[in-house]
Structure 1
C-alpha cells in the first residue's frame, strides 16, 4: 500500500510551487503598475497555506521587489503562516487599502460573489492553478518530488496529464495534484520504481478510479494525447463503482454482488486474503460509506481480479430487443398501460441479431407507438433513432437535405459540451470532379458556396475533400469554375489537350455525395454512425445556366437592369400538348446557341431596362417634381444591384449586399406615387419598367417567371441561406432534442421552402388578371393565372388531386401522432368538395397507409350548393363498384375498409341544438388545394401617401 500521507503532503507542496510561480509571473508582468493587487480566490486551507508559505520564502521576488502579503484574519485562523502575513482588514477593506510604498499586495478571499471591478486587481483561482502550463507542474515534480525522467518519459507524462484534464474537466485541483504526486511516488526507485506508464495506472485511485497498473503499459501511449484521451474517457465508466451504482444509476444490491463473488470463487478465480477482505467490506458497507470504495480501488483491477466482481454489471451493448424488454420490465413493472403485448415481445426477440431491411417498417411502427416510453432512457432511445431515421438522405434542394440530416441524425449525436464538431467529407477524386456535368457542378458551387464557408468558419463544422493536395487547387465544391480552369491550365502547360466541359447525363456525374461524421476535437469518432447526403438534379430543370445569365448582367456595364421574353414550346417531342414547367426547360422555346437553359443572351428578346428608364425619366416634363430624385435613386440602385450580382458570381450570394440593393429598390418604388408626377400615365410608365426587372415574360401568355436576379428574390434567397446556416450552427452548438422529428422536419421543409419577400408583377394586358405562384425551382418561380370558374360549365377541373390527397394523408398521419386516442373514432370532413376523384384517391391512399390500418374513419363530403353535391353523389354511384373491387382485392385493407364510413351532407343538415360539441376532428376546405378561383377586382381610390413598396 502506498504511503498516502507522503503523497498528500507532496501534493500540496506541488500546489504551493505552481501557485508561487503564477504569483511571480503575474507580479513580474505588472511590475510597472502602482498599487497592483493579486488575490487567491476560494482555495482550500491546505492549498492556500502552501502557496503563501512558498511565496513568503521566495521574498523578495526576483531580488528587486518585496510584496505585501495581507491575509484576512478570519481566513488565517486555521493556517500555519507567518504572523506578519496576517491583517485585521477583511477582503473588501484590502481592496480599497492605500499602501504608501506602492508595493504589490498578495491577499486571499473565500467570498464567491466578490467581483473584480477595479483594473489593478487580478485573481488566481483553482482552475488557474489546475490549468497552468503542464511544464510548470513537471518542473514542480522535479523540484519537490525529485522526479528524474529522461526526455521521452517527460513527454509521455506531459501527454498523460494534458489528456486527463481534457477527458475529465470536472477534476478538482487537489485530486490533480495528488495524481501528480502519486506518479512521482510510484516512479521513485526508492518506492516502486515503475516506468512512467505503469506509474500512471497505479495512481488512478487518486482520481477515484480503480488501480490498473497495466492499463497504459503499451507502446500506443506516446507523447500524442489522442490515445490517452480516448482511454481516460473509457475509464470514466468505472467511476460509478466508487458510488456503488450500476449502469442504470441504481445502487448495487448486496445479494447480487455476494452471489457474483461466490460464483467467481466456485469457478476457481483466486483472490488474495487481503483483497478478499476488502471486497467483503465493500459489499457489506453502507450505501453512503465510500471509505470502503477507496480501499477497493487500491486493489489492482486486473491482477487482483476486481473486475470479475463487476463483469455482470459491466455496461455491454446487448441486443436491441433484450435491452428494450429490460427497460419496459424495470420502468413499467406496475403499469399495465405501458406493458408490451405478447406480439411485441416476439417481435423484439428478432432484433437481437442482424436487423433485416424488411423489418424496418415494423420497427418504425413500434417506435411510433412507444417513443415516449423509450425516451425515458436516452441511450436506448438513440439506438432506436439510428435505425428508424435513415442514415442516407437524398435531395435536390441541398438546404432541405442538410436540415433533414442535421435534425434526424446529427442532433442526437452532437452534444453542446465542448469537444465536438461535425466533419463533412466531400466524396470524389479530382478526376471524378472533372468528369461531373459542368453545368451541374458549377450551379451547385454558385448557389451553396456561402453555406460551406460560413459552416467551416464556425468551428463547429469542418469541410474537407476526399482527394489529396486540395490546398494546391481551388475547391471544386465552392469554386468549381476556378478549379476547372486551373486544371485546364495545368493540362496546357504540360502539353496535353484541353479539357472539355462534361455534358454527361449519367446519374453518377449529376450527384454530389457527402459523408458526415460526428468527431471529437482530437479527431476520434464521437459516434460510430456515418451519415450520407446525396444531392442530385435533373438536367432538364431550370437554373443550371444561372451562372451565364448572371454573367450577362455583370458584363452589361452601367446598365445591369434586364428583362427578356421567351416563347412557350406548345408541343413536346411526341406530339403532345404541354404547358410551361420549370422542371422541364424543353417546355420553353429557348433558341440560344450559348446554352440550352439560358434566359438572357444576345440571341434572345432581351430588353435593357436601364437605358429605357433613364431615357424616359430624362424626357419627363421639367416640371415633374422628383425627376432628379428618380435619376439619383435609380443610379444608387443600379450600382448596388450590380455589386450584388458580381459578388454572387465571385463568392456566392452576400446577405448584406442583397438586403441593401433590395432596400434601394424599395426606395425607388416609394417615389412612384401619383403626387410625385404630373400625370398618372407617367407614374405607370416608370412603374411598368421597374417592375419588369428580374422577370421573364412568356410571349402571348399571361405567364411570368421571377428569376433569381429579381431584386426582391435576391433578398429572399439571401435570407433563406442565412436562416439555414444559423439553424445548423445552433443545432450543433446547443443540445437539441426532438420528440416529433417527422413533424418538425415537415414544418421546417415548409418554412424554409417558402418565398420570404413579396413580389409585384406588371401586366400590360387591358384586363389585368391575378397571377399566382404555382411552382418554385432553384430560385425561379412560375406565376400563372388561375382557372376562372365563370368561364367553365363544369363544377370540377382537371386539377391534380393526387398531390392534394397525398397532403391530406400526411396531415392525418401527423395529427394522429399527436392525438393517438382519436384512432378509435376519427371524423373528417371535406368541405365544399366537388371532385369525386379526390374522394376515391384519398380513400385508396388511406387504406394503403400502414399507420392507419386500425383507424375507424368517418369521412364526410359536404357542399353548401345542392347542384355540386348532387353531381359528386352521382359520380360516386357511377364508380363505387370499381372502387370496391380495387380495394377489396387488397388483403391488408380489410380492417380499414370495415371501419370506413362515407357520408354526403349539406351544412344545414347538421343539428343546431348541440352546444360545445365538435362533430368533426378535421375539416379540410377544398379551396386550400384547388387550382381554380373566381377572380373579382374591387375598385378603390389611389392614395398618394401610400408607398408602392413591394
Structure 2
C-alpha cells in the first residue's frame, strides 16, 4: 500500500472515530456510507479501521461481496449480499454501521446517511487532523504545525486537487521535511505530485512571520497553476506551442543553460504534442532552471491567426477553392490584429475546414478559441461536456483517460442565490449521469446532482433567493480537463476549460421533474394518465405552440405553464382502456380470449412503465427499466395488430386512439377563443419511445470509452453527442439517427 493510501485510510478512521464520539449520546446506531472513492481507497480505510482495535469494535463493516470478494486485505467476514437500502434499516448491535456505495443506483436511499467521501475528508475544518496524521513521527513544533496547516488549507480552498493527489502531496512534503528541508522548500519540491512544475523557491517570498497566513500560500499556489499548461506543451493561454517555435527559442540559450537542462529541454521539444513521459520528466528539474526558456517561448509571436492559416494552406492549396484563397488573403491583410472581430465567413470557413486544420494543433486551438470563445456555454450539459472533450483532447501514452468535471458550486451555501426551478430541472434531467459514465467521466463536487436532497434545508436560510431570474442565478459553472490514469495521473492533466450550463425559464422542459412526480403519485393510481395543454391566445394569426416559450401554452389542471400532467382529477388511460376493450367484446368485435390477451399485454406494459418512471427519477437514462418498458410497449402494439378485430381499419384506429395517447399532450385552442385552432400533438419525454431513445447513454458510453483510449480520437467529423433535449420527438429522432457515435 502506498503512503498516500495509508494516509487516506488513517484520516478516514480518525474522522469516523470523531463522528461516533459526537453521536455517543444518540439512541440507535449511527449509519455511515463510503461513497465516490476508488476500491483501493476503500480497502485502505477498512485496513486502517481493522488496525485500530477500539474503532473496529465500535463499527459493523459491510462491503458488497460482488465488488470486494477476493481482494487482498479484505476479510470474508465483512462481505455481504445485502443492498445498502436494506442495511440502512437493518438492526445493528454496534455503535455504528459502515456501508459502501460503489455506484449511484442506491444513492437516493442513503441520502440522509452520513457520507465518508472526498468532500467530507477534504473539509477545511479537518486540516489540523490531516497535518497531525501526516506529521506522525516528525519532531514538529507548534509554530511549524500552524504554518503547515495554513499551507494545506490554502490547497483545499483552491479546490483543484483530488483526494489521492492531496494525500500524495502531504506524504511528499513529509518526506522532504524528514530530510531536513524547510517547510516552504518542502512544498515547492512536492508540487509535481499535484501536477505542477517543481518550484522549490515558490513560497520563499512569504515573510517568516506571515507563514501562518493562508491567503499568502493560496496566492502563490494560484500564481503557479497556469504553468501547468507547459506540461502539455501549451502556453499560458492554452494554445499549443509549435515545435518550430520552441526550437527557435532554445537555440540562443545553449550557452546559458546547464547541459542537463538543455538536454532535457531538447527531449521535451522532440516529444509528441500533449503529455508524455518526456514532457513530464522535464519538470523534475526546478522551475528556476527552466524559467529562462519558457519566458522566451511565451513571448508573443508576431504571426496572427490570419497569417498562420494562410501559411498552412499555402502548401495545401488543393484543399481550398479560389474564393477561399481570396478570403485568406483578405483575412491576413485586412485583419492583422491578435484578436480580430469574427465575421460570418469565418464561421463558414471553419465549418468546412475544421478537420484538416487539426493536423496543426496550435492552429486548430487558435480557430476554436476564435470561433467559440474562451469558455464553453451550453443549454445541453452533455453537449457541453463533449465540446470540452474536443478542446482538451491530446494524444497521450497512458492506457486510459478520464474526463474530470469539477463543479464550482460546491457546498449548499453556493446555491442560495440560484433559481430553484433551474436547479431542480438540472438534478432531474441529468440524474444518473455519474453512474452512466463511471470510469470515463469523473464528476467532482457536483452538488447540483443532489439538489433536491438539500433544497428544503437551504430554503430556511434568510439569504435564499429561490425566485432569482438573473443570468447568474440560472447558471452552473464547471472546470473540465482530461487526465490519464496510473503514474501519469497527476502530471498528465490537460489545461482546464470553463464550462457554463445555463437553464432557460421560458422553455417547456423546465417542468420535467414535477411532471415525473405527478406521474408517480396521483389520484388515478397509475402513471398512464391523460396529458394535455391549452394554447394560449396568440398575438398573430396562425401562431402555434412554441416549446421554447411557455407563454404559448396553458397547462391543463395546473397553474405553472409548461406542465402537461394535471395536478388534480387526472383521467386514467388504464380505466379507459379496460372499458374500450370490454366494449369491443360486448359488440362482438373482439373475442373474449383476444380481449384477455390485450388486457394482459397492457398490464405488463403498465407495470414496466411504472417502474421506469420511478427509476428514471433517480437513475436517469441509465436505468435498465427504460428499455424494458419500451419492449413492453412494442409487445402491446403487436398484440393489437394480432388481435382478431374484423374491420381492416379498426386496429390502427384503435391503437392510435387508445395506445398512442400515452405520453402525448394534445393542445386545444385558447378557452376564450371562438374558433378552435388546428390541434397540435406534442410528443413528451415520457412517451415510451422517447424514454427509450433518451436511454442511449450506454451507446454513448461505449463510444466514448473507445475514443478516450484511441489515438485517432476526433479524427472523424465533429460529433454533437447530445440527448434529445426539448425538441419535438421526431426532431429528436433525426438528431439521434444522425449521431455517428454509435457507428463503427
Assess same fold via TM > 0.5.
Answer: no
Q: TM-score range by the shorter chain?
A: 0.3 to 0.5
TM-score by length of 2: 0.42
Q: With CA pairs under 8 Å and 6+ residues apart, which has the higher RCO, 1 or 2?
A: 2
Specify the structure having the higher radius of gyration (Cα).
1
